[in-house]
């Protein structure tokens, strides 16, 4: 009995060591990844209540040693090293280029871009976004920035100021993964938010307890005047329940997986023709 503990500890340490080793390796590989063009964006459609595509979310992909590494793994590493600032700017520029192309016939399609808290701390952030909007001649209201709740727990004054500076240019803000953080309700009460994105975990659970949570979020959105996007919709049953709740926007594999840029443009062309 006694002798088992050190053995277990050894296994535990081996696991930690492997994790640490992978982190170090990936961190090293991330150093020149942008220059080596290893990143690209995929675009996942967001549809309105009638099923019409109204917007796309830009999602980052990293191809490393012939494998796709998930953003869930590499974004935190880039946040820790600060590399997310430069790479995040590249993401914004790529997304703006695609957005301009999608709107060359004034379809009014929006682009949602994930922004990490670290990017907000960068002094140049607001100016950089403004410059991109001008360079690609994008109406500000077509650009939606997705931030997580954690952003509002940090330097409130600074965040508020930057959010409202961009909102003055028309840029919209969504709270991503809504309901999974700690400050959900106080956040939306104190902030001038345009959208919340209901996290996939509530949608997965919608046939059980999720439904009353989604209904509650809809009620809050009506009284506080922001709009709602449900993410991670995978089945027609989920879509139906969300429709019954009056959810105005939905995103998920049921409608489309994230698409390569060229396929997203074709998808949009076909959607606009029909
Ligand atoms: P997120 O913002 O919650 O993005 C939605 C994630 O759910 C995406 O995963 C998307 O591919 C996936 N998804 C969409 N529909 C469905 C569905 O119906 N079922 C299931 N099971 N999954 C679905 P992805 O692309 O792996 O991105 C993971 C996370 O990485 C994102 O979560 C976001 O937080 C972060 N991320 C991705 N791109 C960027 C970026 O450019 N910048 C920053 N800061 N974060 C990013
Ligand atoms: Ca997102
Ligand atoms: Ca999300
Ligand atoms: Ca999510």
pLDDT exceeds cutoff 60 at 102: yes
pLDDT digits (tens, 9 = 90+) for 33-50: 999 999 999 999 999 999
Q: Is 256 helix (H, G, I), strand (E, B) or coil?
A: coil
Beta-bridge partner residues of 178: 198
pLDDT exceeds cutoff 80 at 13: no
* Mean pLDDT, residues 127-154: 94
CA torsion angle 22 28 34 37 (round to 10):
-70
Beta-bridge partner residues of 198: 178, 230
Residue 5: band (very low, low, confident or very high) from pLDDT cuts 50, 70, 90:
low
State the pairing for strand pair 39-48/53-64: antiparallel
pLDDT exceeds cutoff 90 at 127: yes
Q: Whose CA is nearest to atom 20 of ligand 1?
A: 232
Q: Report the 10 Å Cβ neighbour count for 9.
A: 10
- % of the chain at pLDDT higher than 70: 95
CA-to-CA separations, 106 to 12, 13, 101, 102, 274, in angstroms, rounded: 57, 57, 10, 8, 16
What atom of ligand 1 comes closest to residue 146's alpha carbon? 2
> Residue 3: its pLDDT value, please?
53
> Residue 185: its pLDDT value, please?
78
- % of the chain at pLDDT higher than 90: 79
DSSP 50-99: TS-EEEEEEEEEEEETTEEEPHHHHHHHHHHHSTHHHHHHHHHHHHHHHH
Alpha carbon distance 3, 109 (integer Å) = 64
> Residue 192: its pLDDT value, please?
86
**Residue among 86, 194, 59 at smallest CA distance from 140:** 194
Taking the CA atoms of the chain, what radius of gyration do you get in angstroms? 20
- Among 114, 121, 198, name the best residue to mutate to test ligand 1's pocket (greatest count of ligand atoms within 8 A of Cβ): 114
pLDDT exceeds cutoff 70 at 210: yes
Phi, psi of 69 (to 5 degrees): -95, 135
pLDDT digits (tens, 9 = 90+) for 151-190: 877 788 899 899 999 999 999 999 999 988 876 677 778 7
Give the distance (Å) from ligand 3 centre to CA of residue 146: 8
Give the distance (Å) from ligand 1 centre to CA of residue 203: 15
DSSP letter (8 states) at residue 201: H
């Amino acid at each position: 009995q006694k002798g088992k503990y050190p053995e277990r500890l050894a296994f535990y340490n081996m696991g930690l060591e492997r994790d640490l080793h992978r982190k170090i390796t990936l961190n090293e590989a991330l150093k020149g990844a942008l220059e080596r063009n290893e990143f690209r964006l995929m675009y996942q459609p967001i549809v309105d209540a009638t099923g019409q595509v109204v917007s796309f979310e830009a999602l980052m992909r990293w191809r490393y040693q012939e494998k796709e590494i998930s953003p869930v793994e590499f974004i935190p590493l880039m946040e820790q090293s600060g590399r997310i600032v430069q790479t995040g700017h590249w993401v914004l520029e790529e997304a703006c280029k695609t957005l301009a192309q999608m709107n060359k016939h004034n379809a009014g399609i929006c682009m949602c871009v994930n922004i990490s808290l670290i990017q907000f701390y960068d002094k140049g952030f607001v100016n950089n976004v403004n410059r991109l909007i001008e360079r690609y001649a994008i109406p500000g209201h077509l650009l939606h920035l997705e931030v997580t709740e954690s952003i509002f727990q940090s330097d409130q004054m600074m965040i508020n100021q930057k959010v409202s500076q961009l909102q003055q240019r028309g840029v919209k803000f969504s709270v991503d993964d809504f309901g999974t953080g700690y400050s959900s309700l106080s956040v939306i009460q104190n902030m001038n938010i345009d959208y919340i994105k209901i996290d996939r975990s509530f949608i997965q659970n919608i046939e059980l307890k999720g439904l009353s949570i989604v209904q509650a979020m809809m009620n809050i959105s009506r009284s506080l005047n922001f709009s709602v996007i449900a993410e991670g919709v995978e089945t027609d049953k989920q879509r139906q329940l969300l429709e019954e709740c009056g959810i105005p926007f939905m995103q998920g594999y049921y409608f489309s997986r994230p698409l390569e840029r060229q396929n997203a443009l074709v998808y949009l062309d076909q959607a606009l023709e029909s």
